[in-house]
Amino acid sequence: MTDEQIRDELQKAIKGERVMLFMKGTPDEPRCGFSRQVVSILDAMGTEYSALDILPDPRIRQELSAISNWPTIPQLFVNGELVGGCDIITEMYQAGELADTLGVEQPEIEQAPAAPAPGQSPPLQIG
């Protein structure tokens, strides 16, 4: 797949999905605490969303950051617009703004769901 094809697929996902999360890993198996935090928030909101793992090819992250002009992962898009990364999503959730953005009811919360402690890292491989 060329860089241009990757960019086209990313733009198609951003425009084609109402709520699109680009993350490390999958919602069932997040591969970083920030992605885990955003998945926990979206799940707590009860909203349907699509997700794409950026880890299989480093060009995915490069092309995504070129599209969004946002350097960090995860990145959440709603209705084709970048909402932000983990810090912004967490702040919006706590303030009740994320519910408005997603068009859902704000759940009763004290604070954002805590990200579970990450499991052991896979062993390093050389060569």
Summary mean pLDDT of the chain: 88
Alpha carbons 113 and 40: distance in angstroms, whole number: 6
φ, ψ for residue 15 (rounded to 5)? -80, -25
pLDDT digits (tens, 9 = 90+) for 103-113: 888 877 655 45
35 found inside a domain: yes
117 found inside a domain: no
Whose tokens are 């733009």? That residue is 11
Strand locations in the chain, DSSP E? 19-23, 50-53, 75-78, 81-84
66 found inside a domain: yes
The model scores a pTM over 0.85: no
Most confident of the following: 60-64, 100-104, 116-120: 60-64
Cβ pair 74, 38 in contact under 8 A: yes
Number of domains within the chain: 1
What's the domain range around 55?
Answer: 3-102
